[in-house]
Structure 1
Amino acid sequence: MTTPAPEKSARRRRPSRKQDTSSRPVLRLGLAGWIVSWLVPTAVMGGLLLALGFLPGLNDEGFLAPLIPLIAAAAVVVGIPGTLLVSWLYRHQLRPTVHILGYVLVGLLYGPVVLVVGAGGLIPMLIPLIGFPAGILLGIGRWMAQPLARVENPDEAPEHLATPETKDPEHA
């Protein structure tokens, strides 16, 4: 005698998921917003280092002067591609906190650029001196640029591309 094969009950089956075919909203920053979120914090960081260089006793050994070109190099090599990559990766994420934390991470990556000068002596100790303030400033810059960001919904046609039928469906 053979036993019949067990059958799965209906309650165990999961309903099939349909793929979401509608397009998701996109957060766009624009050129002015990107300049506010990247260039302004980088310029503030360079200005702070320049101002600290004028304080007597702080820059006797020439400690701060070489950091200004390093900040500029980090801003160009790490900052530009990093902030653009964060903006692109999180374009569907509408929460500003995610973007701000991404910019903070890019700012923290400014620090290891000092290793280009050399890994010996006190140079590796400069990583947090550059990275932490740059991360904080880039995060603040992205937070300041939040009013310049706009949310675009791809399902809705822009006003200048809308046909007369889509503008007023009653008269179609």
Structure 2
Amino acid sequence: MTTPAPEKSARRRRPSRQRDSGPRPVLRLGVAGWIVSWLIPTAVMGGLLLTLGFIPGLTDDGFLAPLIPLIAAAAVVVGIPGTLLVGRLYRHQLRPTVHILGYILVGLLYGPVVLVVGAGGLIPMLIPLIGFPAGLLLGIGRWMAQPLARVEHPDQDDAETLTTDPDASHDPVQTRDAKDPENA
């Protein structure tokens, strides 16, 4: 004798969720916000390396001199496409923490650029010396650029373009009388 297959009860079934297929809000960071979040931290990192180059004990070995062009190369090769990619991939994430963590990851990727010079000697030990401060500075830069970011709601764009006058929702006759005391 065989046992019949158990049937699922109706209370265990979950209703199927249909995804909202409408347009979602988008977080936009303009050119000024991108400059604050990418260029300023990269310039601060270069400035720190330049000031460390003036310390007499560190320049004797000569390992700080090639780091400045490497930071510039990492900023151009990794930083520009990386930060633009983070902005594009996470444009629908409205939480700034997600964007900040993405910028920190891009900054950490500045470190492996030193392997272009060569993998011998002390060069691989410079990866954290470049990557960690760059990640921290890019994260702080993206956090500082947060007031420059704006949220665009695609479904509200049409309504905003139609009502450009803040008094447009009021009765025009009543608004004119309230502004002009002679007609009151």
2:35 matches 1:35: yes
Asked whether 1:13 is paired with 2:21, we answer no
Distance 2:116 2:33 in 1: 30
> Which letter does structure 2 place at the counterpart of 1:81?
P
Q: Decide which structure has the larger Cα Rg and report it.
A: 2
CA distance in 2, matches of 1:41, 1:56: 25
Q: Deviations over 1:111-152 (max 9, x none)?
A: 000000000000000000000000000000000000000001
For structure 2, which runs of at least 5 residues remain unmatched after alignment?
Answer: 173-184
Q: Which position in structure 2 is the counterpart of 1:45?
A: 45
Give the direction of change, closer, same or farther, for the CA distance of 1:149–1:115 in structure 2 (3 Å limit): same
Partner SS for 2:57: coil
- Which position in structure 2 is the counterpart of 1:112? 112
Unaligned runs of 5+ in 1: none
Secondary structure in 2 matching 1:156? helix
Provide TM-score, normalisation by structure 1.
0.88
Matched, 1:99 2:99: yes
TM-score, structure 2 length as denominator? 0.82
- Residue type at the aligned position of 1:152: E
Which amino acid in 2 is paired with 1:141? Answer: G
Cα deviation for residue 72 of structure 1 reads: 0.2
Q: Give 2:71's aligned amino acid.
A: I
Provide the C-alpha distance between the structure 1 equivalents of 2:151 and 2:158, rounded to a whole number of angstroms. 12
Instruction: Label 1:146 to 1:4 Cα distance change in 2 as closer, same or farther (>3 A).
Output: closer
Aligned to 2:81: 81
Aligned residue-pair number: 168
Secondary structure in 2 matching 1:27:
strand
Distance 1:13 1:121, change over 3 A: same
Identity level (%) = 83
Task: Name the residue aligned to 2:145.
Answer: 145
- For 1:40 and 1:134, the matched residues in 2 are separated by 11
Q: Give the 3-state SS of the residue equivalent to 1:28 in structure 2.
A: strand
Q: Secondary structure at the match of 1:150?
A: strand
Matched residue of 1:151: which SS? strand
Give the partner amino acid of 1:90: Y
Q: Secondary structure at the match of 1:16?
A: coil
Q: Deviations over 1:67-119 (max 9, x none)?
A: 00000000000000100111111111111111111100100000000000000
Tell me how far apart the structure 1 counterparts of residues 64 and 155 of structure 2 sit (CA, whole Å).
52
SS of structure 2 residue aligned to 1:44? helix
| One-letter amino acid of the structure 2 residue matched with residue 154 of structure 1 | P
Supply the distance in 1 between the matched residues of 2:115 and 2:5 (Cα, whole angstroms). Answer: 67
Local SS of the residue matching 1:20: coil
Task: Give 1:53 deviation, angstroms.
Answer: 0.4
